[in-house]
Amino acid sequence: MLPSHLYCSVCVTMEIWVVEDRFQTKAYITSCHRLIETYRGYLLCSNTPGHTFLIDMRTHTYLRGSAAHLLQINGVDQAKRFVDELCRRLHVDQGRPST
């Protein structure tokens, strides 16, 4: 799960939703989000309209907005910007300078 201060501050400028983390949701993602791309350690899973879910390839888990919700980002380009900002902020939070 994302730290709340990261999630809230990043999503202010992007179209990001949370959806319930249920078996049916994950089954829907698996069957309908077939446009797959890797980006900076994340698997971006999108459907034709561009609704994108992120899977952290290090932990093999979906990115979450809360314990019971998955993040859904509108568009692959926006999802990439989200990952860029997340990586930048995580490096800063961990005491390492961002690149």
Backbone angles phi, psi at 97, to 5 degrees: -70, 145
Give the list of residues 6+ apart from residue 61 with CB closer than 8 angstroms, or none. 55
pLDDT of res. 71:
92
pLDDT of res. 54:
95
State the DSSP code for 40: T
pLDDT of res. 90:
80
Report which secondary-structure segment, H or E, holds 53: strand 51-56
Evaluate whether residue 50 is within a structural domain: yes
Q: For the segment 1-50, what is each residue's pLDDT rounded down to a tens digit?
A: 555 555 555 555 678 888 999 999 999 998 898 899 999 999 999 999 99
Evaluate whether residue 58 is within a structural domain: yes
Evaluate whether residue 20 is within a structural domain: yes
Give the list of residues 6+ apart from residue 54 with CB closer than 8 angstroms, or none. 42, 43, 44, 45, 62, 63, 71, 73, 79, 82, 83
Evaluate whether residue 78 is within a structural domain: yes
pLDDT of res. 89:
83
pLDDT of res. 1:
56
Q: For the segment 57-94, what is each residue's pLDDT rounded down to a tens digit?
A: 999 999 998 889 999 999 999 999 999 988 888 875 55
Evaluate whether residue 98 is within a structural domain: no
Question: Rounded distance, CA 67 to CA 84, Å?
Answer: 23
